[in-house]
Amino acid sequence: MSSIFQLVGAYSVDPTSVGVLGEPSMPTPLDERVLLARKHYDEISLISDLATAVGMGGITSAHVVVIKPVAEKVKVRITTSDGATQVIPVEELLVLISLSTPVTAIDLQRDAGTVTSVKVFLGEKV
């Protein structure tokens, strides 16, 4: 059964003071939708300072990745189908939609000695 991943809303950048000349407001609407053949959700407790592999739940190509640390910053290492690996520090939220170069592996690493958990959503497009 297919599902639809939706990221709907807006983000904006606004001046902190009213009436600041030359400082435009930059509202940007978001309306991202991806039809998913498979999805996987997990909450992973990071109990070691070593990197922890994320189980992909049968997904071989994740076109949608959402990483949400619960309390502390984590390092997310993402490998894509083209073989590239990137390390991204995530404190609040990471949303990645990559339709042509999906994610094939993910691991998470906490800061030394900090106990935290991470919510992970993965989606494979139809």
The DSSP string of 38-84 is EEEEEEEEE-SSS-EEPP-TT-SSBSEEEEEESSS-EEEEEEETTS-
For residue 1, the model assigns a pLDDT of: 79
Find the mean pLDDT for residues 73-96: 96
Domains of the chain: 37-125 (2.60.120.10)
Confidence of residue 58 (pLDDT cuts 50, 70, 90): very high
Provide the total of helices (H) and of strands (E) in the chain, helices listed first.
0, 9
**Would you say the pTM of this structure is higher than 0.95?**
no
Neighbours of 16 (CB within 10 A): 6
Structure confidence at residue 41 as a pLDDT band (50, 70, 90): very high
Residue 78 near residue 54 (C-beta atoms within 8 A): no
Q: What is the mean pLDDT of residues 9-35?
A: 80
- CA 40 to CA 119: how far, in whole Å? 11
Which residues lie below 8 Å from residue 104, measured CB to CB, with a gap of 6+?
60, 61, 62, 79, 80, 81
